[in-house]
């Protein structure tokens, strides 16, 4: 395990720092005593625009960059906007790293995605299998755009001695997640669908009905967002090697069991209908998390049921606050 970088004394830029994961990373940095953390907003710095990237580096003068900003979404959003997911994510990452190299950044942390893995990678996904096949088709443009940051990080380390690392988190969830039905991932999408179905049932007097994409057979691994933030900060402090590193919980659950658990946690007791015409996505997702434990001591702390309970409680409170605002 590498010696710690004292992040508390560094000027740190967290792109996407005002977002779901970024907010938790900023808080984790501040708990370490970091006094100079800057989270640029998209309205002020559109990182797809090279001029905005240059201005960010000129104004913030970062010593450490944690690049979390990304265009993300579920299967439906990826399927409808493959070109945008590819271009926006590629341009943000490539320009952020190149300008960081030019400006002499001491450490660059690039966040990848589990969507970069081959569709039929052996389970659990090991980092060494990353290049042994093409990603699942609906997420491939996004996954490949992110994977190019690994290529860039390794090439820059080889040619310039640039200290860039590449982390691949599994699907995240938690309080403050994106619950927009057009772009949300599976857990927030299911939570919202349950609450929406129950609200509709109260108005109509009919039994609530939940429609879920696919067959329910695929499996997924999930990582609580606060655990992910801790893992990213640990890696920023302690990891300085070219090999990519998975960030996960080691817990795998089928979509069918996930739906049942979300229904139980939200109080949904209606009919569940599986729309088998819709795609399932990748058949299985579970990570080998041994490298993160070995290299920088990361281990997820929050049990999945507890994390789900916290997420549902947050959303229930957000709905109540929204209702108060309307009254």
Q: Is 22 inside any structural domain?
A: yes
Residue 17's CATH number: 3.40.50.720
pLDDT at 268: 96
Q: Is 193 inside any structural domain?
A: no
Q: Is 185 inside any structural domain?
A: no
Please say whether the beta carbons of 247 and 223 come within 8 A: yes
Q: Is residue 212 within a helix (H) or strand (E), and if so which, with residue range? A: strand 209-213
Nearest to 188 by CA among 269, 308, 278, 68: 308
Q: Is residue 306 within a helix (H) or strand (E), and if so which, with residue range? A: helix 304-326
Please say whether the beta carbons of 74 and 279 come within 8 A: no
pLDDT tens per residue, range 264-290:
999 999 999 999 988 887 788 899 999
Block means of pLDDT (10 residues each) for the chain, 327 residues, are 82 96 97 96 96 98 97 75 93 98 98 92 95 92 96 98 97 94 88 96 93 92 97 98 97 96 96 90 89 97 97 96 72
Q: Is 309 inside any structural domain?
A: no
Rounded Cα distance, 298 and 290, in Å = 9
Q: Is 101 inside any structural domain?
A: yes
pLDDT at 145: 96
Q: Is 122 inside any structural domain?
A: yes
| Domain carrying residue 102 | 7-174+221-251+284-302
DSSP 104: T
Query: What does pTM read for this prediction?
Result: 0.92
Tracing tokens 């996960």 back to the chain, one arrives at 248
Q: Is 39 inside any structural domain?
A: yes
- Six-digit token pair at 259? 């739906």
The residues near 57 (Cβ < 8 Å, ≥ 6 apart) are 99, 100, 103
Q: Name the domain count of the chain.
A: 1
pLDDT at 324: 67
- Quick one: CA torsion of 87, 92, 94, 96, rounded to 10 degrees? 170
pLDDT at 327: 57
Q: Is the sign of the CA dihedral 230, 233, 238, 242 positive or negative?
A: positive
142 is catalytic: yes
pLDDT tens per residue, range 2-55:
568 999 999 999 999 999 999 999 999 999 999 999 999 999 999 999 999 999
Peptide bond into 297 cis (omega under 30): no
The residues near 232 (Cβ < 8 Å, ≥ 6 apart) are 21, 25, 28, 66, 68, 109, 111, 167, 169, 247
CB burial readout 259-283, b (16+ within 10 A) else e: bebbbebbebebebebeeeebbbbe
Query: Which ranges of 12-139 would DSSP assign to H, the alpha helix?
Result: 20-31, 50-60, 75-80, 82-102
Rounded Cα distance, 195 and 13, in Å = 37
Question: Which listed residue (117, 142, 173, 239) is catalytic?
Answer: 142
Q: Is 182 inside any structural domain?
A: no
């Amino acid at each position: 395990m590498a010696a710690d970088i004292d992040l508390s004394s560094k000027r740190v830029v967290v792109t996407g720092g005002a977002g779901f994961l970024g907010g938790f990373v900023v808080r984790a940095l501040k708990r370490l005593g970091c006094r100079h953390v800057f989270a640029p907003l998209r309205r002020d710095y559109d990182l797809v625009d090279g001029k905005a990237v240059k201005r960010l580096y000129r104004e913030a003068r970062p010593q450490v960059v944690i690049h979390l900003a990304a265009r993300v979404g579920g299967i439906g959003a990826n399927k409808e906007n493959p070109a945008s997911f590819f271009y926006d994510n590629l341009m943000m990452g490539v320009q952020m790293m190149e300008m960081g190299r030019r400006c002499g950044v001491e450490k660059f942390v690039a966040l990848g995605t589990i969507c970069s893995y081959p569709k039929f990678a052996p389970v659990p996904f090991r980092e060494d299998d990353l290049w042994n096949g093409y990603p699942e088709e609906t997420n491939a443009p996004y996954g490949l755009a992110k994977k190019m940051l690994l290529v860039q990080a390794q090439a820059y380390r080889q040619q310039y001695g640039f200290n860039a690392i590449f982390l691949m988190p599994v699907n995240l969830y938690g309080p403050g997640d994106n619950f927009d039905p057009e772009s949300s991932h599976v857990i927030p999408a299911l939570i919202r669908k349950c609450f929406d179905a129950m609200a509709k049932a109260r108005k109509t007097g009919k039994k609530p009905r939940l429609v879920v994409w696919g067959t329910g057979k695929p499996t997924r691994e999930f990582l609580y967002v606060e655990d992910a933030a801790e893992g990213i900060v640990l890696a920023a402090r302690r990891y300085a090697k070219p090999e990519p590193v998975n960030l996960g919980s080691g817990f795998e659950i089928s979509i069918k069991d996930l739906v049942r658990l979300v229904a139980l946690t939200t109080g949904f007791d209606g009919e569940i209908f599986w729309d088998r015409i819709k795609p399932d996505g990748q058949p299985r997702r579970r990570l080998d998390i041994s490298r993160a434990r070995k290299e920088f001591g990361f281990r997820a702390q929050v049990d999945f049921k507890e994390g789900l309970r916290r997420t549902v409680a947050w959303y229930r409170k957000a709905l109540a606050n929204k209702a108060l605002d309307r009254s």
